[in-house]
Every structure is written in structure tokens, then in C-alpha cells.
A = this chain, B = another copy of it.
Amino acid sequence: MSHNSFGHLFRVTTFGESHGPAIGCVVDGCPPLIPLTEADIQGDLDRRRPGQSRFTTQRQEPDQVRIVSGVFARESDGVQITTGTPIGLMIDNVDQRSKDYSEIKDKYRPGHADFTYDVKYGIRDYRGGGRSSARETAMRVAAGAIARKVVPGLVVRGALVQMGPHKIDRANWDWEEVGRNPFFCPDAKAAAFFEGYLDGVRKSGSSTGAVLEIVAEGVPVGLGAPIYGKLDAEIAAALMSINAVKGVEIGDGFDAAALSGEENADEMRAGNDGRPLFLSNHAGGILGGISTGQPIVARFAVKPTSSILATRATVTRSGGEAEMFTKGRHDPCVGIRAVPVGEAMVACVLADHFLRHRAQVGVVEPRWPFQE
């Protein structure tokens, strides 16, 4: 309900602006007794961190996370574990380059939240986008690193599957490849192409969009809370809440509209492991808002960065018309760094639903087949 919180039982609240002293996060409702150190979180943060290749913003942020509450060293072995109390996380803002804001403080950058924040609140922190900056997503990634530990056996991975108009070849999909290129791209051949493509975009001062795919494996059957707390509905909200996202799909997504009922409905056979064997996964692992036990597959579209090296028409705070030209350090394809953010959001939704399921039903295990 709160503007800056999400999740019901695994609840994440973030605060902080791009150019304030720090950004922070509170994770409330986390189960106790889970081993957790800063290193567990730092790995994911480093994957999202800017400045790691020439294809992301050159802002230099170490994004060093500190856990300020909610953990304690276990007596028996000294391992630091969660205590069930709120986990406070802080990251100091380091690279707040002093800058002349006179160009942008009275003008609204097209495609940015400048205009809407100002009209809504009557004031905005114009330094680096303030609260609307993608810098906030660092805290999502931090929370997601904790969420991953809540659901036993859960593996959430993401990949870039389209850059600009160029889709990868899914036949080349190799999860190992994702960590080998700066694009989180699972198709080595496409990654090679993207390098040249994005260099062109970058050098021309332009930007491009992307489509990302998140796959969650090891999800127990039965997670999801129909009708309005459907697992897919909450994944949709979680992904759409990421900066610059304009679309979300589950399973076949928009392509499902073009299918026939025969093509779309996943048939079932009896598996050997207490789960049914689905013969396909058009549903993306969710039926009726509840997980089927198949991998959950979600995709989301990220628009091109609006900060580009081109003059654009806009208006000023006082109602005048103006042209503006956004200088500064930006991502030519902001979608790239959205991969770990998308993973984190899906992990958080799953952790939340894992707890919600356990609350209502008491057990988290297949009830099928029923031996009555």
C-alpha cells in the first residue's frame, strides 16, 4: 500500500535519492535462521553495478552494501543469521559528481519523470533524477538477494533476449553465456552482434530498448493467491514497476493471442517425481494465478533511455517552451542492467508467495497425487 514498499509478508521498503547521502532498504518479515552476510548481497549488486563496460553509464559507484540490523551471529558456530527482525540495508552514494543543474532544474526532460513528479508534488529533487532515478533499483537487487534464500531450491536467472529490433536466436540459448558478455545475452552469436550494434548507438548519442526474460526454476507447486493476488499479476506489477518498463508477459504472452486452444493448453502426463509432466509450457508455469511447478517464465520490455545527445522540444516550469539537450553519463541501453533487477523482483514476489502459501495452507509440498 505504501508508495515505496512492496510485498505482503516478505516486505521491501526503499528510500533515498540519486544524489542524496545514501540509499537504503528495509526487508521486513524475512524468516529467521537464514545465513546472511553482506557478501551474499554484494554479488548481485556487482552484476547490476554501473561502469563495468563501455555499454553502461560511467558513473562510478562501488555500491557497497552494509547490513545495519536484523542479523546476529549464531552462538554455536558464529555464523551470521537472520533474526526475524527487520533487515536494514544501506549503500552510501559516492559518485555524486558536483554538477551545474541550471540547465535541467527548470526544464522537463522529455520521456523522464521530471514533469509528472513536479506537477504531482510541487517540487522535485532534480539532481540525477532524484527519487525517480534507476539508482533506486540497487536496493531491489539487494532485497532480491535475500529473497532468493527464502525459497529452498529456488533458482532465478535472467537474460537479454532482444536489443532494439534484434531478437536473439533461442536455439542458441546457453545460460553459461549470460555471464560471459556485457549484455546478459544467452546467445553468443547475438552478443557479438550486439557489441557492434550498441557501439553504433552509443557513438551516435542515441539509445535503444530491450526485452529481458526471467526464468524461475525450483518453484513449488501451489504458490499464488487467487483472485487478485495471482502470482502472474504480482509478477506483472513487480516488473512493470522497474524504471522504463512498458510491457510484461508470462509464458507465451502476447503470442498466446494468436494461438488456438489446442496449441495453447499444456497437456499433462504423470511424472516420476510427484509432479505432473507437462508436455509444453505455454502457460509459463502459472495456471489460474498459481504455480504449476514448471519453470516460471516472464518477459519485460524496456524502453530506450530518454537521455540522449539530441536536442528535444520541451516546456519549462513556468510554462515557457524550450529546447533541451541532456548531457551526462547514461546507458545507451538501460535495459541491460535491468536483468539483475528483474531477477530480484521475481525472487521477491516468489518469496512473498512462499510465505503466504505456508501461512494459509501450512505445508509447502506437492499434495498430488491424492491417495485417498
B113 and A290 contact, CB distance less than 8 A? yes
A-B contact pairs, 5 of them (CB 8 A): A6-B228, A15-B86, A120-B290, A165-B257, A252-B303
Residue of B nearest to A85 (CB): B131
CB distance from A31 to the nearest CB of B (A): 5
The CA of A245 and the CA of B252, in the complex, are separated in Å by 11
Say if the beta carbon of A146 comes within 8 Å of chain B: no
**Contact mask for chain A residues 109-135; partner B; CB cutoff 8 A; 1 contact, 0 none:** 011110111111111110000111000
Say if the beta carbon of A2 comes within 8 Å of chain B: yes
Complex contacts, A76 vs chain B, CB 8 Å: 372
Residues 222-270 of A at the B interface (beta carbon under 8 Å): 222, 224-230, 232-241, 243, 245-270
Most B-side CB within 10 Å, residue of A1, A75, A255, A301:
A1
- One of A49-57, A168-176, A308-316 at the interface: A308-316
B13 and A261 contact, CB distance less than 8 A? no
Complex contacts, A250 vs chain B, CB 8 Å: 240, 246-247
Most B-side CB within 10 Å, residue of A15, A21, A222, A361:
A15
Most B-side CB within 10 Å, residue of A5, A70, A312:
A5
Residue of B nearest to A250 (CB): B246
- One of A36-44, A178-186, A187-195, A206-214 at the interface: A206-214
- Copies held by the complex: 4
Say if the beta carbon of A341 comes within 8 Å of chain B: no
B227 and A124 contact, CB distance less than 8 A? no
A369 and B4 contact, CB distance less than 8 A? no
Most B-side CB within 10 Å, residue of A116, A238, A302, A371:
A116
Given A31-B362, A264-B303, check contact A13 B86 (CB 8 Å): yes
The CA of A180 and the CA of B269, in the complex, are separated in Å by 45
Given A240-B236, A253-B301, A270-B319, check contact A306 B120 (CB 8 Å): no
B210 and A265 contact, CB distance less than 8 A? no
Cβ 8 A contact of A118, one of B120, B235, B245, B367: B367
B83 and A130 contact, CB distance less than 8 A? yes
**Contact mask for chain A residues 82-93; partner B; CB cutoff 8 A; 1 contact, 0 none:** 011111100000
Complex contacts, A372 vs chain B, CB 8 Å: 75-76, 317-318
Complex contacts, A243 vs chain B, CB 8 Å: 288
Cβ 8 A contact of A237, one of B74, B234, B261: B234
The CA of A47 and the CA of B22, in the complex, are separated in Å by 28
